[in-house]
Amino acid sequence: MICTVAKKEIEDIKPTNILPQTPYWGRLKDQQGFIPNGFEVTISKDILGTSTSGLSKTQDDLLVLIKYINDSFCYAYVPYGPKLEPTIENQGVFLEELSETIKPHLPENCMFIRYDLIWENQWAKEEEYFDASGNWNGPPQSRIQEFRVNYKTSEWNLRKSPSDVLPKNTFFLDLQQKKETLLYNMRYNTRYNIRQANKKGIEVQEYGVEHISNWYALYLETSKRHNMALQNEDYFKRILTNQDNHKNGVNVKMLMAHQDGEFLASMFLVLSNKRGNYLYGASSTHNKLASYALQWESIKVAKDWGCTEYDMFGSAPNLNDSHPLRGVHVYKKGFGGDLFHRMGCWDYPFNQKAYDLFRLQEMSTS
């Protein structure tokens, strides 16, 4: 067989830079109504399009979350997976083979499997999808995407999801550079704001779960300012308490910027293997400099921890004035990272009729 799948205990999933493919993420989502499942996937390198002399097969772990929508149906969701990445012309074949192989290990009433792909978007590699200023215009309509991705598949069954779950666009910082170089590569305004924050006595420290209410107050203020959907305070408490607390696992640091006894900004820095992740951030309107000091401290902490890269975890795909995340894009771009566009969510239906009904409902509410 060119692909095999074996069940694996969640806690035995190997350390990885990909935070949503860790035991930590499985534990977190278990408390949000998902059922985490671990698998070890073995696949022929031929199907990845990377076969060379030497080993003909490769293995990797896969976290799959099962979500029941009612007593009759559920679906499977793969957050930022699979990590194995085939060449562009083999992406559809790989997903089809993996879907059919993993199907017997999923509940019988599983309607479809959804892959939240971390792979670089195919259309972000083509000049015609960028404007004259270098802004990416995004991929073509779903029908055109599906035509290319299903190339060489047997069932022609892969569908672009109506919406995406995890951030599809992000900035990555290379932490293998010296701190002085990281600072130099920032935009002038960002570097200036960091220095001004330091001059004005804004300090950043790590705090424990006993200060979660201080975090939540800033979070509520930020959410109301941007009309964001709210999480409850217990959710953020679990982010801190579910961490692994050992070097090769997932470690979470709640960093808070303060001045004269007042908390001005806060964030969750999540360290997963060799990657630092800016997972959640919140700030007061009183002092905008605090967010710059906070982010710079987070980058330095991740570097000192031994991380080689830093994921800003979400941005607008370009500088379009109409995009709701434009301000976030400008802020994060200022730190000098490289913009990366992922493929986003893709579905492989097992029960076509049930999937079509679910998709219609999803589209009507998105």
Is pLDDT of 53 > 60? no
Same domain, 22 and 126: yes
Same domain, 48 and 160: yes
State whether residue 23 is helix, strand or coil: helix
Q: Do 197 and 290 form a contact (C-beta atoms < 8 A)? A: yes
pLDDT of residue 49: 79
- Return the residue matching tokens 């995407």: 145
Of all residues in the chain, what percent carry a pLDDT higher than 70?
A: 98
Same domain, 282 and 243: yes
Distance CA 250, CA 13 (A): 12
Q: What is the pLDDT of residues 185-218, one digit of tens each?
A: 999 999 999 999 999 999 999 999 999 999 999 9
Same domain, 156 and 23: yes
Residue 325, in any domain of the structure: no
* Sequence-ordered alpha helix ranges (H) in 306-342: 326-333
Domain boundaries, position 53: 3-166+342-365
pLDDT of residue 1: 55
Q: What is the pLDDT of residues 96-140, one digit of tens each?
A: 999 999 999 999 999 999 999 999 999 999 999 999 888 899 999
Is pLDDT of 273 > 60? yes
Same domain, 81 and 120: yes
Residue 316, in any domain of the structure: no
Cβ neighbors of 17 (< 8 A, separation 6 or more) are 272, 273, 274, 275, 309
Q: Do 330 and 319 form a contact (C-beta atoms < 8 A)? A: yes
pLDDT of residue 230: 86
Residue 283, in any domain of the structure: yes
Q: Do 347 and 155 form a contact (C-beta atoms < 8 A)? A: no
306: left (phi over 0), alpha (psi -120 to 50) or beta: left
- Total domains present in the chain: 2
115 — phi, psi (to 5°)?
Answer: -100, 120
Residue 218, in any domain of the structure: yes
Residue 34, in any domain of the structure: yes
Same domain, 202 and 282: yes
Distance CA 349, CA 358 (A): 11
In 3D, which of 35, 172, 175 has the Cα closest to residue 110? Answer: 35
pLDDT band at 54; cut points 50, 70, 90: low
Residue 185, in any domain of the structure: yes
Mean pLDDT of the chain: 93
Residue 336, in any domain of the structure: no
Same domain, 252 and 354: no
Q: What is the pLDDT of residues 296-341, one digit of tens each?
A: 999 999 999 999 999 999 898 888 888 888 888 999 999 999 999 9
CATH of the domain at 55: 3.40.630.30
pLDDT of residue 92: 97
Distance CA 59, CA 148 (A): 26
Same domain, 181 and 158: no
Q: Average of pLDDT values for 4-23?
A: 96
Distance CA 41, CA 45 (A): 12
Q: Across-strand partners of 276?
A: 271, 310
Q: Average of pLDDT values for 32-41?
A: 96
pLDDT band at 246; cut points 50, 70, 90: confident
Dihedral angle over CA of 176, 178, 181, 183, nearest 10: 100
- CA distances (Å), 14 to each of 10, 21, 63, 139, 273, in order? 9, 9, 11, 33, 10
Same domain, 160 and 14: yes
Same domain, 144 and 201: no
Residue 82, in any domain of the structure: yes
User: For residue 94, what are its two tokens?
Assistant: 């790989």
Same domain, 134 and 189: no
Same domain, 71 and 143: yes
Domain boundary among 307, 326, 356: 307
